Amino acid sequence: MRIPGVVDVYQVGDAWVARSWPKVQNQPNSAAQLLWRKKFRDAHKAVSSFRGTYLDAWRGIQCPPGKMWIDVAIHSHLMMPEQFDNIPTVSGCKFELYYSASGFDLIGLHFAQKYAWFFNENAKAYYTIGYGLWNTYGSTWPTVFKWADLGFICPNGKRPKKHWKLTYKYDNKGTGVRVEAEISGQTCWILLYDNIPDGLTLLKMYGWPSAPETRADYALIYPPIFAPVRPWPGAFVP
């Protein structure tokens, strides 16, 4: 039988003898302990609310050894909870990047740019709710991110745990030339670029270096949505 709690023991010869049955620990909680527990409850509640394309993006991240996407999401929420106040719940988002050697004909005009990043109506909503998202070169995890091993954290009285920081290859591509077009009854965005053969990625993340009283850390707010280059099929399909 396993009984949770704390028990006092004393030593008799080579044996340890319990002074009483274990009792559930009932110690006063400090304000700091109560606040930390509330932060964990809030993080778990937020992560359980993830839906649609946003949840799919979280489930698709590459994690450091011994971690799951939920661990990364909870850590990020603990670091910057205010960034999770408004997250998208839409599904069926299309973020597709096409290549056409002859350019693209849109809204009655010809555009010479050879790459077109297509957002359907749901993708527009996703992007708009996540105001401040970044787009960058690359369409695979290793071309955009790297997990940096920062060694072990050794809290007083607890077992050591590995500390990871997610680092980001920052080369923001801006927005290109944006065209809004009505396609099959949906208002879509097309972002036109001259030369992005390695694809694009949409994301939002913050990182900061170590300081005298804090350690280096990160907060992944919007996990990456990768857009590899596809041959132009001849039409945009929402």
**62-119 confidence digits (pLDDT tens):** 999 999 999 999 999 999 999 999 999 999 999 999 999 999 999 999 999 999 999 9
Full DSSP string of 91-122:
----EEEEE-TT-EEETTEEE--SEEEEE-HH
**Would you call 216 exposed, middle or buried from its count of C-beta atoms within 10 A (0-12, 13-18, 19+)?**
middle
- Give residue limits of the domains in the chain: 30-231
Task: Give the pLDDT of residue 53.
Answer: 98
Look at residue 160 and give its three-state secondary structure. coil
**199-212 confidence digits (pLDDT tens):** 999 999 999 998 88
**What are the residues whose beta carbons fall under 8 Å from the beta carbon of 83, sequence distance 6 or more?**
76, 204, 206, 219, 221
Q: Where is pLDDT greater, at 6 or 19? A: 19
**28-64 confidence digits (pLDDT tens):** 678 888 898 999 999 999 999 999 999 999 999 999 9
Determine the Cα–Cα distance for residues 39 and 76; give it in Å rounded to an integer.
Answer: 12
Q: Which residue has the tokens 């409850």?
A: 41
